[in-house]
Structure 1
């Protein structure tokens, strides 16, 4: 791997890392606002409602993941029309899905909260959060497409700008709604929805500065080409199944935490915030891997794939373990920023060391996720996650529930990450001879 290639990788990775860090840092600040309220039920309510939104929104994460790889491949082929059509086609899909979500918002809410387990006051707070955030669905899904499109074109500066505007607005509105107005969980949701719409507006302004609306309109008739739509839906189907399995794993983890009590739920939620922080950090490298892998496939230059994977995995493992070490050894002072409830901090100190295997194994899985997404190898991602969820996480999660053991629950999540890393890693060699 030559120096210019490494420079390109690190420039893109650095911008993506900074951009990605805006997401969990904003979430951590929001958690701190809620965690310092007199009633801890609001933090638990947001955690429970977030499980439901993970299904509603992360289920359609293919709008981001499917966009990046296809766009990057079109860039590698120097296919200008393909770049535009990917944006328009996936934006149309995002709008259609968001309309369905808004129409079905009430049955989705009732079904979701009936399946979740928590104290009644926690559920009530979660419903307030849901009722406000659901109206941000159109902007949220369109933002997935915009992010994927800019990433696929390796336009890191645009991604960073969008992230800064979105999260700084979110933090400011959260302070106003939660601290000043006392809206609690409803305020957190309202702030997020408003910031999503502002972010979406800015994204389309950036696009129109490069491509006039009259130019984009000329491609609209080609959005619904049968072969292109079929390929898009096949890829999105595989990513959808993969995402459902992934979200179900974390949903079951949170739900079983709630069954073990509000203190366990809250403590595990705070530790998961650190996992999220580490994941977004590592995803900055994974996004760079995704963009460059797709570009390499478009150029049919497969000799760069293996060096790319090695560089990305080595750097991500280092980052993951450093993150785990910082929070494990300074847990008292760092988690006290998120909550002033001493019983929660004392409880989570018993489990914080689980960050090492989760972020260590998870780092490998996240990078390989990005690698195969860049190659549009959705079938590999689908199979890997199904195996890890059904045959690894689920059995150990059942043991955790039976013995009411939070340690077993964290073990289940650690083994889930390991299983994903192994099953994806075994498939890398196949791609080195296919994409040339």
Structure 2
């Protein structure tokens, strides 16, 4: 079916009967989205592990750590999503263009070999044999060297430098401003939550360089359509965190500090694995400083940054309003938020798969594949969203005791489940939190997410911005 001449919204229904077809495109999407989503969930899952252990210390500690995790995650998101998103697109585009150049070079070599064969007819058999032997030796040597040749992708070096620098800046910001930030979040100087929240946030912030650097490398791997390597690394890191949490928290009696220390160690472990693997495939250092692409990253990442800042402000304000309601509502909010964030990243796996495939398709000017990919991703995302809503609505009622035994917290968790699907606008948060308390915050989250969905449909329907190819 040709995309031209049809309304852009038809992209949702294009070949809908093939949405679950296990064809080449389906395998490519799931091959990237599955491991990619699980890898992206590493930090939220690690936060869930911390939440589960800390929840059995007490609701005050759980609430305190919840605020600290909300601060850390939202500050990180400002840098992570523009950096990872831009990196994935740039690497996929440059890798596709590099492969096209390699194919052109191979074709030229083949044409050259044909000419050589014609020349062999003009020389003696002895000379031809010697020449053939020499050519075979040179070919074998070049093939051996090419197998171990690392790719040169300029955006990789830029992404790693930006990830490391932004991580250091985040560490400095959180260490130096932890107390006033927590005050803004509703944890006042006379609050019993201040001490554990401050301890956890300061120690957790030491892992920011590793978090941003590892996520930048995950963006590189996704651009190369390799999501298994980040998955293996994050599974190893999460396993390390699970083992170290009870050791530092209960055996060494560090409490919430132990959870933060275990988390930081696991993040540096993940970053080390990814860096070791990445250096085998890609040149990590640019030939010269002029090959760095800071201007390109800033230009393309600006709109993403604006969107992420808006969403970050909404989620951060939500946590702040929950904290002002007291330690019990904040503890319940922390459980709901972390489960929602972890589960929602499954949809981000689909987004990154679409991003990598679309970038490669556009680099090759293959608009038909771009349209087919967009249709399949949107259809799969709709089904996944419905399934996640059902699983969360049922599963959290049964499994919430994993995180706490406090009956008041458990009751609020059950109340929050039906609207566990959204982010929120600042106006709705402040209004509904004032009149509806804990439930009002989650209703506001759902309202804002609905507005984001409407805006997305509007852009697709009018074929604006990145959807302009639907009218081509």
Tell me the residue number matched to 2:363: 298
Rounded to whole Å, the distance in 2 between the matches of 1:275 and 1:352 is 10
2:253 paired residue among 182, 200, 211: 182
Spell out the pairing of 1:225-236 with structure 2 (5 A cutoff): 228-236=293-301
Residues in 1 aligned to 2:227 and 2:173: alpha-carbon distance in whole angstroms: 35
Alignment of 1:264-303 (within 5 A): 264-303=329-368
> Which residue of structure 2 aligns with residue 375 of structure 1?
none
**Aligned counterparts of 1:9 and 1:70: Cα–Cα separation in 2:** 18
Bigger relative contact order, structure 1 or 2 (CA pairs below 8 A, ≥6 apart): 2
Distance change >3 Å, CA 424–CA 92, structure 1 → 2: same
1:317-355 per-position Cα deviation (integer Å, ceiling 9, x unaligned): 322332322332344421011111122112222221113
Distance 2:255 2:218 in 1: 29
Bigger Cα Rg: 2
Could you say which residue in structure 2 is the equivalent of 1:139? 210
In structure 2, what is the Cα distance between the partners aligned to 1:60 and 1:126? Answer: 23
Which residue does 1:69 correspond to in 2?
A: 89
| Cα distance in 2 between the residues matched to 1:426 and 1:83 | 39
CA shift in 2, pair 1:105/1:327, >3 Å: closer
Which aligned pairs between 1:211-222 and structure 2 lie closer than 5 A?
211=282, 216-217=284-285, 219-222=287-290
* Runs of 5+ consecutive residues of structure 1 not aligned to the other structure: 363-388
Q: 1:171 aligns with which of 236, 239, 242?
A: 242
Distance in 2 of aligned mates of 1:69 and 1:91: 15
In the TM superposition, residue 160 of structure 1 has moved relative to its aligned partner by 1.2
| Structure whose residues are more often helix by fraction | 1
Q: Is the 8 A contact 1:173 1:191 kept in 2?
A: yes
1:36 and 1:234, CA in 2 relative to 1: closer, same or farther beyond 3 A? same
The answer for the alignment partner of 1:403 in structure 2 is 435
CA contact (8 A) 2:184 2:320 kept: no
| Aligned ranges 1:387-398 → 2 under 5 Å | 393-398=425-430
Is 2:129 the partner of 1:58?
no
Change (3 A) 1:90 1:134: same
Which one of 69, 86, 89 corresponds to residue 158 of structure 2?
89
Equivalent residue runs for 1:249-260 within 5 Å: 249-260=314-325
Instruction: Report deviation, 1:237.
Output: 2.5
State TM-score, norm by structure 2: 0.77
Pairing 1:155–2:187 present? no
The answer for the alignment partner of 2:30 in structure 1 is 10
- 1:357-392 superposed Cα distances (whole Å, 9 cap, x missing partner): x26xx8xxxxxxxxxxxxxxxxxxxxxxxxxx6xxx
1:48 aligns with 2:67: yes
Of 163, 177, 187, the match for 1:108: 177
Displacement, 1:67? 0.8
Tell me the matched-pair count: 396
- How far has the Cα of 1:233 moved from its partner? 1.2
SS of residue in 2 equivalent to 1:163:
helix
Structure 2 vs 1, CA of residues 247 and 83 (structure 1 numbering), >3 Å: closer, same or farther?
Answer: farther
Please say if residues 76 and 297 of structure 1, whose CA atoms lie closer than 8 Å, have aligned partners that are also in contact. no
SS in 1 for 2:307: helix
Please report the TM-score for the alignment, with normalisation by the length of structure 1.
0.83
**Cα deviation, residue 60, structure 1:** 0.9
Gaps of at least 5 residues in structure 2 are 1-14, 102-149
Matched, 1:416 2:448: yes
Give distance in 2, aligned partners of 1:131 and 1:270.
21
1:194-240 deviation digits (Å, cap 9, x = unpaired): 111111111111022224xxx5445243334xxx4322111232222
| Contact 1:48/1:123, CA 8 A, preserved across alignment | no
1:36 paired residue number: 56
- Is 2:459 the partner of 1:427? yes
Answer yes or no: is the 8 Å Cα contact 1:152–1:291 preserved in 2.
yes
